[in-house]
Amino acid sequence: MSDDNKNLSDDLNDMLGDAKEGAKKAADKAEDIADDAKDKAKKIAEEAKETASEFADSAKETFENVTGENKKVLAGILGILFGAFGVHKFILGYQKEGMILLGITLISIPLFCVVIGALTIYIAPIIGLVEGIIYLTKSDEEFYNTYQVGRKPWF
């Protein structure tokens, strides 16, 4: 029986050695796969950064080249939706007028509990709404000549 036990022990040791080798090979393969995945992730991240940079550059170039109708529609819609904040004025390059509308809104909000704020809170949104409608109803040529060339700041 001792020979049987010895053979059995040898067989178990061989199996254990084979299992260790298999586990080591699997770990090495997993490490290789992880390294490959890490390299691919770095490549994808670099490509994404390049693509984002190119997109940002093209968007900046496009925004800088916006003229006429594009600014008309953008300013008109923003005037209707966000006129209280003067966004449409900033789009057209009227910083002072945009700050006036933004200031009226920001001052009216804390004064809303007082009668003055309740009355003034409606001024800027109404101006924005009216200007947005005016911008959208003008022809492209008329809008360009009036607001971009002529620099007419109000209505």
Question: Domains in the chain: how many in total?
Answer: 2
Burial of 63 (0-12, 13-18, 19+ CB in 10 A): exposed
Summarised one tens digit per residue, pLDDT across range 44-89 is: 878 878 877 777 777 666 656 555 456 889 999 999 999 999 999 9
Which structural domain range is residue 16 located in? 1-65
15 CB-near residues (< 8 Å, 6+ apart): none
Cβ 136 vs Cβ 76: under 8 Å? yes
E strand or H helix that includes residue 76? helix 69-82
Sign of CA dihedral 138, 142, 148, 150: negative
Query: What band does 20 get if pLDDT is binned at 50, 70 and 90?
Result: confident
Do 93 and 112 lie in a common domain? yes
135 falls within a domain: yes
pTM for this entry: 0.53
155 falls within a domain: no
Least confident of 31-35, 58-62, 89-93, 113-117: 58-62
Query: What band does 131 get if pLDDT is binned at 50, 70 and 90?
Result: very high
Summarised one tens digit per residue, pLDDT across range 1-15 is: 566 666 777 777 778
Do 50 and 97 lie in a common domain? no
Q: Write down the residue that tokens 């994404």 correspond to.
A: 48
